[in-house]
Amino acid sequence: MKPLVLLPAFNEAARIGRVLAGIRAAAPEAAVLVVDDGSTDETAAVARAAGAHVVRLPFNLGAGVAAQTGYKFAIRAGYDCVVHLDSDGQHEPADIPALLAVIARREADVAIGSRFLGAADYRPGALRRTGMGMFGLLTWLLTGERYSDVTSGFRAFGGDVVRFVATEWYPTDYADADVLITLRRAGYRLKEVPVRMYARAGGRSMHAGLRPVYYVFKMLLSVALAPLRREVFERKGS
């Protein structure tokens, strides 16, 4: 297996160095790619100095598009497994091998890092917990399966999945629970793995303002259109 660790980054120069050092210590055999999503600070230089591959988007396109750029890179460079984690230090690099192991042993096509499984001690605030509960419920309605952490961005994809998420089917505009639902719908096997996550040290949250409203709308649309899209998903492999 040839794994790639993928970190989309937007103005994370201050924090990404420590994350990259953590990755090197935890998974020294894995290549690391930082996709700089149009940062205006020294993110790319810091990443390059730490020995990571760096791909710079010409302007800010959002975390989903940045991640997809990384999947396209992985396909072209011949990587057959991609671990995605945040560049701001929320995700513990020491848990990367646990996600990789799921893909390597072919237990599943997608390994999702869950902060609520096992010995995790993550305690979100009330608002965030409500949001997560809502997304969890929607995911359950759409897939018929329970996942403990549907908004987790800490996950590993096997080769087939990487090829799938590099197509236009990848929901780039709000890429957490929707990715999980899309992949489940497309017939991939998902498995949750306990990981550690930390609260953000400042900065903006993904789930603030009107975004949850838009998210629910998108999910409802997804339910309504699912029967019409089924054939397309079934052709995913070709």
Partner 1 sequence: MAELTLHQTVFALTISLVAFVFVLELVRRRRLREEYSWLWLLTAGAMVLLAVWYRLLILITRIVGAVTPLNTLLLCAVLFLFAIAVHYSMIISRLASQVKNLAQELALLSARVERHE
User: Out of 28, 76, 105, 224, which residue is the one contacting partner 1 (CB under 8 A)?
Assistant: 76
**CB 76, min distance to partner 1, A:** 7
* Minimum gap (Å) between residue 35 Cβ and partner 1: 7
Q: Which of 23, 63, 73, 183 binds partner 1 (CB under 8 A)?
A: 73
Residue placing its CB nearer to partner 1 in the complex, 166 or 219: 166
Strands 155-158 and 81-84: antiparallel
Nearer to partner 1, 82 or 150 (CB): 82
| Number of residues forming the site for partner 1 (CB under 8 A) | 17
The residue among 26 and 61 lying less far from partner 1, judged by its C-beta, is 61
Nearer to partner 1, 56 or 189 (CB): 56
Candidate segments 61-69, 96-104, 137-145, 196-204, binder of partner 1 by CB under 8 A? 61-69
Q: What is the DSSP string of the chain?
A: --EEEEEEESS-HHHHHHHHHHHHHH-TTSEEEEEE-S-SSSHHHHHHHTT-EEEE-SS---HHHHHHHHHHHHHHHT-SEEEE--TTS-B-GGGHHHHHHHHHTTS-SEEEEESSSTT------HHHHHHHHHHHHHHHHHHS---S-TT---EEEEHHHHHHHTSTTS-TTSTTHHHHHHHHHTT--EEEEE--B---SSS--SS-TTHHHHHHHHHHHHHHHHHHHHHHHHTTT-
- As measured in angstroms, the least distance from the Cβ of 53 to partner 1 is 7
Interaction residues for partner 1, span 119-158 (CB under 8 A): none
- Binding residues for partner 1 restricted to 27-56, rule: CB under 8 A: 35, 53-56
Whole-number minimum distance, CB 39 to partner 1, in Å? 12
CA 105 centroid distance within chain: 20
202 binds partner 1 (CB under 8 A): no
Closest CA to 71 of 148, 129, 140, 4: 4
> 67 near 80, Cβ under 8 Å?
no
Give dist(CA 106, CA 202) in Å, integer. Answer: 37
- In the complex, the smallest distance separating the C-beta of residue 115 from partner 1, rounded to whole angstroms, is 30
Identify which of residues 121 and 168 has a Cβ nearer to partner 1 in the complex. 168
Q: How far is the CB of 99 from partner 1 (least distance, A)?
A: 24
Residues in 160-189 that interact with partner 1 by CB under 8 A = 168, 172
Q: Which residues bind partner 1 (CB under 8 A)?
A: 35, 53-59, 61, 65, 68-69, 72-73, 76, 168, 172
